[in-house]
Structure 1
Amino acid sequence: MASKEDIRSSRRLHRRTLSPEQIAAAGASIAQHGTAWAAAASSGTAATFAVYVGVAFEPPTLPLIHSLHDAGHKILLPVCEPGRQLSWVYWTPSTVFVRSSYAPIDEPEGERLESEVVAGAAGIFMPATAVDRDGNRIGQGGGYYDRLLHGLDDSGRRPPTIAVVYDDDLLPSGSIPAEAFDRPVREVLTPSGLVRLDDRAQ
């Protein structure tokens, strides 16, 4: 079995082969399918969702963010904090982004809320470089989201989670080594649609 770092590097290299047109088309499809998932997760009512901004060759999520907003939902975006922790800012179309102090990304300006606010969300859209069909996920290597899910699991208030990847980033069962700290996902959002994984993923 390949190591997480080898898989992460391989998927990043593959993503760099995608054309701007392919990336844009993926973003549009992810917005469509992701908004449908949000409608089901919120029982068709306006709710709050934790999302993130896909950067560089990641699956684009700004179309999803705008689509969720247009559907009446509130959007929480993450901000990297010391100790690999996340805080959260409510996004609006007028939100200003600034360079992160802790990661090579731009982050929203605004009142920073602790991660407990995510416990009240209807769902969490999570970044990933790969997911296998057992629900094991590889993120960007910082461990921010595993820490977030660990805290939500400990509180017993974890909302539904869905990892966002390209179609080719969904790997066969057993492809990703699982560690004790990892928190599997049960659903994956790809440009081709929603994929529900093995029920062993919690």
Structure 2
Amino acid sequence: MESKEEIRSARRLQRRNRTPEQIAAAGEALARHGVSWAKDVSGGSPATFTVYLGVAFEPPTLPLIEALHQEGHRILLPVCEPGRTMSWVEWTPETTFVRSSYAPIDEPEGERLTSAVAGADAAGIFMPATAVDGDGNRIGQGGGYYDRFLQGLKDSAQRPRTIAVTYDDDVLPSGAIPAEAFDQPVTEVLTPSGIVRLGR
């Protein structure tokens, strides 16, 4: 079995082969399917969702963020903090971004909420992934931020639904990704082709 780092490197290399047109089309499709998922999660009512800003060759999520906002949902975006923890900032169309001091991502400027508050408020969590296998094992960017965030919500009375965001070919067969004790598996994946529900 390949290591997580080997899989992560291979998926990143594959992503670099996409054209700007393919990336833009993926963003539109992710927004369409993501809004549908959010409607199911929220029962059609306005709700809070945590999302992230996909950059470079990641699946583009800005169209999803904008579409969720247009549907009346509240959007929280992550900010990396020391100790591989996260805080959250509410997104609006006027939100500005700066480069993170701790991770290779752009982060929103604004009042920060703790992960505990964000987790309690959120109906659903859209989370980054470079790959997910059929067992729900997920490879993120390597920092462990989301695994720690989800671990902190594990004992919550009402844990938000989670969905990983990937390209279609980032969904791998069962057993492809080595699982570690601290990993937080997912049961759903948002891809440009639609929602993939895994067998857990």
Measure the CA separation in 2 of the matches of 1:138 and 1:104.
Answer: 16
Cα deviation, residue 154, structure 1: 3.1
Measure the CA separation in 1 of the matches of 2:186 and 2:18.
Answer: 25
TM-score by length of 2: 0.98
Cα deviation, residue 105, structure 1: 1.7
TM-score by length of 1: 0.97
Letter in 1 for 2:30: I
Which residues of 2 match residues 44-55 of structure 1 at below 5 A?
A: 44-55=44-55
Match of 2:81 in 1: 81
**Cα deviation 1:23-48 (Å, max 9, x = unaligned):** 00000000000000000000000000
Match of 1:20 in 2: 20
Match of 1:7 in 2: 7
Letter in 1 for 2:112: R
Which residues of 2 match residues 81-120 of structure 1 at below 5 A?
A: 81-116=81-116, 117-120=118-121
Which secondary structure does the structure 2 equivalent of 1:9 belong to?
helix
Match of 2:173 in 1: 172
Which secondary structure does the structure 2 equivalent of 1:145 belong to?
helix
Cα deviation, residue 92, structure 1: 0.3
Measure the CA separation in 1 of the matches of 2:23 and 2:120.
Answer: 31
Measure the CA separation in 2 of the matches of 1:119 and 1:181.
Answer: 21
Letter in 1 for 2:37: W
Letter in 2 for 1:136: N
Match of 1:123 in 2: 124
Cα deviation, residue 157, structure 1: 3.7
Measure the CA separation in 2 of the matches of 1:28 and 1:183.
Answer: 28
What is the number of residues matched between the two proteins?
199
Letter in 2 for 1:74: R
Which shows bigger deviation, 170-179 or 116-125? Answer: 116-125
Match of 1:151 in 2: 152
Match of 1:57 in 2: 57
Over aligned residues, Cα RMSD in angstroms? 0.8
Measure the CA separation in 1 of the matches of 2:99 and 2:157.
Answer: 33
Match of 1:36 in 2: 36
Measure the CA separation in 1 of the matches of 2:56 and 2:72.
Answer: 27
Measure the CA separation in 1 of the matches of 2:155 and 2:80.
Answer: 21
Which secondary structure does the structure 1 equivalent of 2:154 belong to?
helix
Q: Which runs of 5+ in 2 are unaligned?
A: none
Which secondary structure does the structure 2 equivalent of 1:154 belong to?
coil
Which shows bigger deviation, 27-36 or 105-114? Answer: 105-114
The percentage of aligned residue pairs carrying the same residue is: 74
Which secondary structure does the structure 2 equivalent of 1:49 belong to?
strand
Cα deviation, residue 104, structure 1: 1.8
Measure the CA separation in 2 of the matches of 1:72 and 1:131.
Answer: 30
Which secondary structure does the structure 1 equivalent of 2:163 belong to?
strand
Which secondary structure does the structure 2 equivalent of 1:78 belong to?
strand
Measure the CA separation in 2 of the matches of 1:68 and 1:22.
Answer: 22
Letter in 1 for 2:11: R
Which secondary structure does the structure 2 equivalent of 1:122 belong to?
strand
